Structure 1
Amino acid sequence: MDFVSPVLDVFTRLWDCTANRAAYVGDLQENLNSLRDLRCQLENISRDVENRVNFAEQQQRLKPTNQVKGWLESVPLKLQEVDDILQKGDNEIQQKCMGSCCPRHCCTSYKLGKQVVKKIDVVQGLINRGRFDVVAEKELQRPQIDEIPVEKVVGMDSMFDEVWKCVEDPGVGIIGLYGMGGVGKTTLLKKLNNEFLKTTHNFDVVIWVVVSKEVKLGKIQDTLRNKLQIPDDLWNNRNEEERAVEILKSLRNKRFVLFLDDLWERLDLLKVGVSFPENQNEFKIVFTTRSEEVCSQMGANRKFKLIGLPQEAALSLFRQNVGEDVLNSHHEISKLAEIVAAECDGLPLALVTIGRAMASRKKPDDWRYAIKILKSYPSQFPEMGKYIFPTLRFSYDSLSDDTLKICFLYCSIFPEDHKIENKELVNLWIGEGFFNDFDNVYEAQERGRYVLESLKLACLLEESYDEGISYEKDDHVKMHDVLRDMAQWLAREHGNEILVREEIGLIKSKEIAKWKEIVRVSLNGDSTEFLLQKPIVCARLQTIFVMGSHMTTLPGTLFQSMQNLGVLNLSNNKDLTELPIEIGALKSLYYLNLSKTRLRELPHEVKNLTQLRILLLDRMGRDVAIPPGVISSLSSLEIYSQFEPEVSCNVDTKLLKELECLKKITEIGLTFSSVNSILKFMSAPNLQSCITRLSIFDCVELSSLEISYASMRRMEHLKALYMDGCLFGEVKICSENEVRLQRSETNCFRIIQIVNIWECAMKNLTWLIYTPRLRFLYVTECESLEEIIACDYGCSTIKEGVEIFSNLKKIYFCKLPYLRSICRGAMLFSCLQYVKIEACANLRKLPLNAESAKSLKAIEGTRHWWDNLEWEDEATKHAFTSKFQA
């Protein structure tokens, strides 16, 4: 019986096999119908998954999972395979219906039926796997940050570190980098971009966009679209507004960094598609511009001004571009290279460009020639005119009107590194006739100050700022040397050539003959001297500056040749003691500056200068003799200044009477040393309404200085007040009946900004409450002074209308042995930056609390004085301890 079991097993297997084969053939129609139903089900599920994926990608900005992507890719292939089998099945069924039952067809039916069953299993498996709970997820892989090629960065480490701290600060969203052309703004921006490749951060996308002067919104949007990978079907054939919507959708759920290079005006980010409401994810926008004004218009939380490189870094960058092989080719070249690099004034664009131009020059003579050209004729250095000036010119071309442009070009008349006094520059612009459309000098000066500020905001002029107690440099500007060279190049291009020469020595007739096509000449240097045998006519010459020479006089033949001269600036010639009578031949002269000279007498022939509008005799060291009738003859005179705050001199009553006779006089600066002059001035309403600077020096006969309410109101243009060596015990502000006034903005010296007091006998300076816009307060060697603001202030009939000292910027008190108080209580010093106290042993308390001077940068004094100060509380002491400098 042992053989029976194997036989039965074989029989069973044969029967199952036969039964299965019969089922493949017999159930073919039913299986085909099942497969067809499953195919339809799979196709519907596939469409549902695709719709879910599309929604996640477009609306939620998510990425499909790899599992979903693989499943969706396999479905079309399986559907095609199913369609092929269904086609074959339908053909087979049709053959059977026609009565074909040959063995060949049975075999085919069997194979087809088996395929159908297997495909049913495959399709059912796809259907089961296609029931996804999640079809997409946030992309874990951070999009690649594009590395921007950048030159080797030199001398920017500290600025980079400071800006990067703001990038990392979640409280700072928008950062503006501004500065003149070629100063390295784009280089720094590239370095910031590339830093994201090196550091760990939480941003999802970092985008770099070049904006340029001609803003093309579509191009900017295309750059963002490419970086954000917005699909073609959502972008093509859409207008700018629709594309902005897609960018906004894409950025809404992203933490992004947007670098915008080279902004020339405000870019409306909403039109681009960039928005940052309060609930926005973390973002950073960092941009570069040549205009500080654009930084404000873009709403920058932090602004950083890039200036030229310091000397050591500048030389390093220059040497890097020249190459060590050239620098070592001759022992003189290394030293000559320092001189050439200095001519670039720290501007990276110039250092790189000129450095490369000198990279093949191995002869010292070539370097000496380059120095000569760069110093005297910079536009003739090929790379200057080809690469540097055109780049810088964009800033000039972007100025909004021709007045701004001509005022900028005019600044190049000053020598290299010259600190230009704001007031002097504005008066020169007025004297040149740039603001002739204004009714009076004050309106023209307002326009001049606005132009000056506009040029500073455009980074075409730099503020010459002194971070210390002196105020002398606060109202000065200077021009970058390379910008100055470019301005002279542009002036020549416009037919208004400016010739500037320094340290030139003897000037002969042959030299002046070359001035015939020049409009403005500036000569600077202590060796300047003229040797003219005969007059030389220079019909186009409108302006002459001769400054800093040791000449005692000028040749009359010079003035005979300049019939169309409008501006003559002879300031700072400290040995100049006389002028030739031929100065009276300058019939077109409307600006004459003789400040800081040693002129003994103004020539009588000056009365012939009937077109003269501005006459400046400041800081001449002593009284200059002015012949009777000269000033009263100058019927066109609008500005007259004989201001000397440091040496005893006096404008006498006769001169005051002549000034009073001038119908057009609008601005004056005067110094008085006698009671008669002061009393005359105090009774001259016209002069009071014109005074802008007033000095009272060595007035020992006056017991008190009384300023009436009416006089104070008339002196509405008084900006600077100096008192030196005056023995009067107080300054009284009162009405004619000596009743104290209520203090208000209108009852004040409304624009006094500088008060400087030396060796005066006053016990207090309470009258300073009438100087609400005071910026600089200097009090020195006043041995009687006990208080600045008397302690009874606020308790009398005086009422506080505006905050005292709210605009004060700098305080300097020196050698005030009895000074014990500045003010009784703490005050709000909104603008205070520097305080310096010397030899004021009894001043034990400052009018400060923890909130009173948040802008304060430094308090200077001795350690002993500081340690003995009394404070309102420990919080106040702690707040200011870090500001103290011994």
Structure 2
Amino acid sequence: MAEKIAFSMVGKIAEYLMEPIGRQFGYLCCYKSNIENHRSQVEKLENIGVGVQLLVDDAKRKGEIVGPDVEAWQTSLNRISEEAKQVVKAKAEVEKGCLNGWCPNLKLRYSLSRKAKKKTKEVVELQADGKFKRVSYPAPLVEIPSTSTGGFKGLQSRISMMKEIIEALKDDKISMIGICGMGGVGKTTMVEEVKTIARNENLFDEVAMTVVSKTPDFFKIQREFADMLGLVLVEDSIQVRAKRLHARLTNGNRILVILDDVWEGIDLREVGVPLTGENKKCKVVLTSRLQRVCSDMEIHNNFIVQVLAEQEAWDLFKEMAGSSVDSTTDLHHIAKEVAKECGGLPIALVTVVKALKNKEKHAWNDALRQLRRSTVTNIPGMHKNVYACVKLSYSRLECDQAKSLLLLCCLFPEDYDIPIEFLVRYGVGLQLFEDVETVEEARDRVYSLVDELRSCYLLLAGEEKFVKLHDVIRDVGISIASKGEQVYMVRHDIGLKEWPEKETYEHYTAISLTSNQMHELPAGLDCPQLKLLQLLDNYTLLNLPRNFFAGLKELRVIGFYRIMIQSTGPLLQFPLINIRTLCLDFCKSLPDLSIIGSFRKLEILSFFKCCLDELPSEIGQLSNLKLLDLRCAQGPAILPPSVLSNLYKLEELYVGGNFSQWKTEENYKGNASIRELNSLSNLNTLSICVPDAELFFMEFTFEKLMRFGISTRSEADMFDQFRFPNSLVLFGLDMSVLLETGIKLLLKRTEILHLKVQGSRNFLNEFDVEGFVNLKELLLRNCADIEYLIDATDLVLDNAFINLESLSLHCMHNLKEICNGNLPAGSFSRLQKMKLSGVRLLKSLWWGSIQPDSLGNLRILHISDSYAMKSLFTPSIVKGLVQLEELKISLCDRMEEIVAKEGGEEKNAGKIEFPKLKLMELHFLTNLKSFYPKSDIQDSENDGDAAMRVLFNQQGNIE
């Protein structure tokens, strides 16, 4: 131990002495200390990771959604931990040396020491990033066509039933409840309301809900329950999973289990849910279209959700239709007849009224005739009125492209989160949007159509980049497609073991299948009209016959997801001359792709999150390619030269962190160079990881970029969203390099900027004299030379940072002021979050005058590690902090007051108020005397802590 400490000290001294000569020799001298420091810092990071994981587990038990920043951080932690293991392994190899250790390998020592030194900086930064304010957020309710625009407002039949269900849940004698009713009557809305009430009124400690659907997938059900309850299920056996889940559900907590959309009786013991009498604290609620399901499962407490009474249905219809159907208008009588035809079904009422609202009288007359003439459908559990109403809403869509997009959504499984980007890529391949020219124009069109379909309640509102279909809408959509030009074969049975056998496949235009038990695709499939083929799996090994694609000559779109393909030859052995979109996302063990060069019409090619050992050089022959997604989970390590430069129509290029070794003058490997990108005259979107940012910005011409995500860090997958904001993450650069490259052109369009730069003193003045009008998030870290964020004495600006929402300044040891001089009017008016740490010279949050609207939206303020700050606010600044909800101050050794008196302020003048403050934390403020000095004379009997306690007691809104 003493030898290790001595060597470490010698290493640090040597590193200090060698620095003027050059840090290169220091890597040798400090070999052991660099390795040891790296190991120590990784260990600290992993300890932080344990704490974060505990918070994540607790959040999942509560059914909350873990924040994407937390998940990204954990991914980075896992990667760094694996890299640290490699460093330890390499160290053991290095120390073997030559001649049984008598001759150390200096080259390998230097390389490993240098790597450890650089990785340690990344580890320390990740430690700081791991201090999350919160790790999760309440799960959003899945919106479905509601029974009214405001939940159950005004619907007395639903309100009274809800009261009965809640009373049943409170009854210790009742352990299982069934809610039955036809499709579209509002069962899912009801259990969503049950879930909300159960949480808000603290009826249960935990709530877990899942959708069962027509073909129950016990693995999926168990996984979703486990995630919500914070239980890790790693066993492959359903039986072992069931035992662990059963133990979790009978651990003494009050737990509500909700099974939505059950079609057949299921044995709850197979899932792991306790049966009646096994545990009175765990209760089960299920919904079903079929009352016999409740009987099969011996559920005696059943609630039958009936259609709305005629008057109640009319009240709902009239509320949504607005004044145009009042008794004083000529539409009143027709509207009442239309409402009657909806049969009292909420989903029918909602979809019809959305289709007809603000339409002329002739449209209402036509709709009424269509509803009366509609024939009975044979869809199981589907009422004819629901079918007729949904079909009417579909037919009333004015845009054929909206109709096509809705039917395209029907190809996905029930309750599936459909990425809107899939619809974009499929739509381009199927040429649904003939009047658009670029992929970005197609993307805008799809998002516009999604908004239109959501406004009609034909698509559910959900997360920004996903859509969902109500199962009723999906069933009607598939039925509509089967009677038109588009004929679908849609099977998403988890138990599907073989390709569905049909007498003929000649009429199908789209096939979409899901299975984790099918191992063989048919040979010589004759499907001459097929335009789209989608296979979704769970990494089952799938044998692809050599002639599978021989009879699919009209195929336009292939979407293979989570497929492990087994093939004796190339993946696609027959030239598919019409193929335009090929997505192999999340796929493993892809076979030979060399034939891809013959797909001359291909426009979209995606390897997102797939395992790709080598990029086929034949891709360079795809002269019509517009989008190339290379953000692979594994590989490729090499991009062949001249491949990218040949793709002269390429508009969007996504390159992940796996490939980062761009060819340079010193690097003569067979890799592509940055300069090749300059030949892509149509390139407007770029997501890329460039460890050598200086090389990138010196060689790449980026004036044409409209969307970009450029990072110098290996976790470039922070940009894996397809509609990511314009982002720059640049670490370890010199100011002179940035200014020489003309990066200001990008900065004007940047929305997210993370920066670690040397040589800059006045940030805004040197980077963007126009005031960063588009910037929404700014993070500066270890920018040791910056003294002012804004120097208003040296710059004439109308405003600055007018759209900034988040500001983080970390380890800014020379920062004197955020703004030197008076803050320009309108600046920081949208700022919601401000975090400052390691700002040791910062004496006050603000010195100059500040406009009333500046900081008016600030909700979160964290200050830590400031040695110079004696106070944080003045009373005039406090008056503008009307939205402040969270205030945290720590490690400010010289701070004496939170709010300081301003010059000329009279004794006891004014009252300090934070009207919306919910949380205030003060830590390690060793010299704090008072929150606000109301009097010049302090009570000698009260120390600072006592004064703070009195102040807290007076401030009722501080928790």
Q: Which has the higher helix share?
A: 1
Name the TM-score, length of structure 1 as normaliser: 0.49
Name the TM-score, length of structure 2 as normaliser: 0.46
